[in-house]
Amino acid sequence: MLRVPSYLLRVELEDRPGSLGSLAVALGSVGADILSLDVVERTSGYAVDDLVVELPPGAMPDMLITAAEKISGVYVDSIRPHTGLLEAHRELELIDHVAAANGKDRRLQVLVDEAPKVLRVGWCTVTRLTEQGPQRVVGSSGAPETQAAQTPWLPLDSPKALDGHADWVPQVWRDMDTTLTAAPLGDTHTAIVLGRPGGPEFRPSEVARLGYLAGIIATILR
């Protein structure tokens, strides 16, 4: 069976009646089928949405950008291949899976394995600052082998987006234009770190979402 390609399309659009409908019509005109929509951020005058869309076999993803940006007030922030549906209940499922795992080590592994799909990132690690320097406690399958030798942003009191071009960031991460965010996990010396090779930048709402999730997971780990 020929696999139908799907993509995660992040768009900025004017927050006005009919704008989303116009976008849907434009995407449909190139054969795209919208599978799901998730509101990432909404502020005065505009919204940022993530859409999971399927294209007919052989269709090029650039068609989505062209079709979307024909609509006045629409800007495509990024487009990435997508492997599964984004649904809000996945976050709750992640928490349930972490809670059901046996032992702290196993719970941390479940966290980093499942977080990338739930939070729309390429990889996830848990890092701890020790007297000998930063230590990667656990990482997802997509986490880079090269680790950061320094983490000047630790200790960490609250979730924050990290500068992906800072001197402490390994060169291979910078070469892949990896955007980064982190949140404390139980204490200020331990953090969950998300990496998104190729971007886009983490929105404040996404950073806050990571902070809320980390707080819940920290309670489970205790």
Q: Residues 69-105: pLDDT tens digits?
A: 999 999 999 998 876 544 556 788 899 999 999 999 9
Nearest-angstrom CA–CA distance, 68 and 72: 9
Domains 6-81 and 89-221 share a fold: no
State the pLDDT at residue 19: 87
Nearest-angstrom CA–CA distance, 122 and 119: 9
Q: Check residue 113 and report its DSSP letter.
A: H
Domain 6-81 grouped into CATH 3.30.70.260: yes
Q: Check: CB of residue 56 under 8 Å from CB of residue 31.
A: yes
Give φ, ψ of 188 to 5 degrees: -70, -15
Would you kindly state where each structural domain of the chain is located, as residue ranges? 6-81, 89-221
Domain 89-221 grouped into CATH 3.30.450.40: yes
* pTM beyond cutoff 0.85: no
Task: Summarize pLDDT for 54-63 with one digit per residue, the tens.
Answer: 888 888 999 9
